[in-house]
Structure 1
Amino acid sequence: MIITENFTRSLSENPLALSIGMFDGVHLGHQSIIKKLNIISEKKNLESAILTFWPHPRTIFNPNDDLKLLNTIDEKKYLLQKSGLQHLFLKEFDEDFRNLTGEEFVKQILVNQLQVKHLIVGYDHTFGKNKSGDFSLLKKMGPEFGFEVEQVEAVDYKDYHISSTQIRNALSLGDITSANEMLGYHYSLNGNVVHGKKIGRTIGYPTANIEVDTLKLLPKKGAYIVDVFVKNQHLKGMLSIGTNPTVNGNSLSVEVYILDFNNDIYGEEISVNFRGFLHDEIKFENLEKLIERLDEDKRLTADFQF
C-alpha cells in the first residue's frame, strides 16, 4: 500500500476507485466498502484507494470535544494495509480544506488531484463546507466529470447500524464482545512499558504499565482478560484500567499482569487484545480482599479459551 500525505497530485499511474471517510476502527462496515473497492478496481483496471483525514474533523469543529479514537494513525495504516488496499491518501484537515464547498471538493480533490473514476460512499456520507456535498451531488457531477458513484448500505449488528460511535459506546460500557463483533477483530491497545508505582510486585502481582497514546479510546474502568504480545511472545494477561482506588491512587493507569511471565520488559513495546470483561473497578477495604479478587481473576483468565 502506497501512503501519500498532504498530496497535491495523485502518485498513482492509474485512475482510482476511491472511498472517503475517517474509517475510525476500520470496522465491518468499512471493511464492506474496502472489499467492494478491491472488486471494482480489479474489474475496471483501477487502483483501490481511501482518502481520509487527520486530525479528526470533530476536533476542528468542536475543539472542546474530548474525542477519543478507536485507532491511532499507525493502527489505521496497518489495518488498511491488511485489507489489500493499494493507496491511502492522508489529507490534513486544515482551514483551507474545511472551507471547500462540496462542488469545489469534487473538482479540486477528487477529479484534478486524484483522478477518481469510481467513487464508493457510505449510506450517510456528507462532505464539504456546511455538509454541502452528499450522494445526490456526486450523482449529479459524476457524468460531467467522468466518474461513477455508488452508495453502500449500512452493515447491521443486532438492531442498529455498525458505526464507530456504536463501537465507542460499547467500549465505554465494557461490552468487549459487542465491540469486537462490530470491529471484526479484537480491540487493542499498545505502547511502551513504563515505570509505575510498583505496588503490584509487593502483593505478588507485578504489572507492566502501558503508556497509551492520549488520543486512543480506553474502555471503561475495570479489569479485562487480554492477549499480550511482547518480545515475540503471545501470552495471557489480565489488564486493569483505573486509578487503583484501594491504595488511594489518583491518576489513571493501564496495567497488565502477564501470566507465567517474569521478564524485565521496561522500555519494550507491548500490545494487548481485549478478549473479555472481568469486573468494574473496585475499591477494596484492604489489600487482602484485593489479593483474593486478583486470585479469582487470574483463575478466570487462565481458564479462558483464547
Structure 2
Amino acid sequence: MRLIRGLTNLKRIAGQSDSPLSKGCVATIGNFDGVHLGHKTIIDQVKEKARELNLPSVVMIFEPQPQEFFKGAEAPPRLMPFRQKFEALLAEGVDVVLCIRFDETFRSYSGMGFIEDVLIQGLAVHHLVVGDDFRFGCDRAGDFGLLEAVGRERQFTVENTRTVTVDAERVSSTRVRRALNVNSLEEAERLLGHPYRLHGRVVYGRQLGRQIGAPTANILLHQMPALKGVYVVRARLDSGQWLDGVANIGLRPTVDGKRPALEVHLFDFAGTLYGQHLNVVFRHGLRDEVKFDSVDELRQQIARDIEQARAWLAENPVTPEI
C-alpha cells in the first residue's frame, strides 16, 4: 500500500507514468477514526468495486481531522493516532491512503473545486463510495446530489455507503467513544471487532515510576484520549512478545502533567523499551484517574492497582496474542 501526503504530492504522483493512479481508482472519504466495523464494511465495498473495475482502492483521510481544525481542544477525543490508523487501513487491504492536510486553504475549496482538483485531476476517480449525508467544500456546500450530477457529466459514479448496526444502532466512531467514556470495553470491542488498543513509541519520561518501584513505558499522546484512568492491559513489544501489565492513561494530575500520556507498567519485565512501538490492549478498567496529595500516596495506590490487576488476570487468562 502507498501513502500519499497532501495535494502537492497527489498532483505530482498523478502526473507520473508509473503512478498507482494512472488509470484511475475507486475511492472513499472520511476520518476513519477507530477503523470500526462500519468502516470495514465501507472498505470492503470499495475493494469489491475496485476488483470489478481492475483499479486501485483509495481511502482519503484528513490531518488534522476536520472537527479538530474547527473546534480545537473542544473536538471529540481520537480513538487512534495517525500511524495506528494507517496500519489499520493497511491491514484491511487498502491500496492507497491519501492524507490531506485540513487547513484554511483546504477548507476554502468550493464544492466544485474539490471535485475538479482532488477527485478528477488528482485521483481520476471512476467510482466514489460516500454516505448520502456526506458534505464537502466551503461551508459544506457540496453534497451527494452534486457528486451524482457532476459524475454523470464527467464519467464517474457515486454509491451510498452500507450501514452496519450492532444491537439495532448504527456503528460509528461517536458510539465507540461513548462506550469508552463509560468504561464499557466490552461494547467497544463489539463495535470495533477487536479489543480497544493504542499504539505508540516509548519515550523518556520523568523516571518517577522507577523511583517508586513501578517503572513505566511512557507514550505521549498528541490528542486527548477516549479513555482515562487505570486499566489492566496486555502489550506487544517489537519482538512480538506479549506481556501483561497495568496502565494509566490521562493527564497524570498528581505530577501536574500538561500533556496526555499512556504509562504502562509491564509485569515481570526488566529490560529497556525506549524507542520501541508498543501495542497496548485495554482489557479491564480498575479506577478513574485521581490526584493524590503526595507521591507516597500515589506509590501506595499503584501497589494496590498492581495487586488488583494481577488478581483479575489470574481469573481471566488469555491466549498469548490478542
* TM-score interval (norm. to shorter): 0.7 to 0.9
User: Does 2:100 correspond to 1:88?
Assistant: no
d(CA) in 1 for partners of 2:61 and 2:261?
A: 31
Q: Quick one: which of 140, 148, 152 aligns to 2:157?
A: 148
User: TM-score by structure 2 length?
Assistant: 0.83
Q: 1:253 to 1:92 in 2, by over 3 A?
A: closer
How far apart are 1:180 and its partner, in Å? Answer: 2.3
Distance 1:105 1:182 in 2: 32
Letter in structure 1 aligned against 2:186: T
Deviates more, 1:188-197 or 1:72-81: 188-197
> Aligned runs of 1:56-67 on 2, under 5 Å?
56-67=65-76
Counterparts of residues 217-236 of structure 1 (less than 5 Å)? 217-221=225-229, 223-232=230-239, 233-236=241-244
Moved more, 119-128 or 236-245: 236-245
Q: Residue in 2 aligned with 1:297?
A: 309
Matched residue SS, 1:194: coil
- 1:173–1:220 CA contact under 8 A, matched in 2: no
Q: Tell me whether 11-20 or 1-10 shows the greater mean CA deviation.
A: 1-10
Give the structure 2 partner of residue 237 of structure 1: 245
User: How far has the Cα of 1:37 moved from its partner?
Assistant: 0.8
Give the 3-state SS of the residue equivalent to 2:74 in structure 1. coil
Runs (5+) with no aligned partner, structure 1: none
Q: Structure 1 vs Structure 2: percent identity of aligned residues?
A: 30
Displacement, 1:45?
1.5
1:85 Cα deviation from its structure 2 partner? 0.9
Residue in 2 that maps onto 1:2: 2
**Cα drift, residue 268 of structure 1:** 3.7
How many residue pairs get aligned? The number is 301
CA–CA separation in structure 1 for the residues paired with 2:77 and 2:250: 17
- Correspondences of 1:18-97 after superposition (within 5 Å): 18-97=27-106
The one of 250, 264, 268 aligned to 2:256: 250
CA contact (8 A) 1:236 1:302 kept: no
Deviation at 1:261, TM superposition (A): 2.0
**Alpha-carbon distance in 1 for matches of 2:252, 2:73:** 28
When residues 242 and 102 of structure 1 are mapped into structure 2, their CA distance, relative to the original with a 3 A threshold, is closer
Q: Which secondary structure state, in structure 2, belongs to the residue aligned with residue 62 of structure 1?
A: helix
| Unaligned residue ranges in structure 2 (runs of 5+) | none
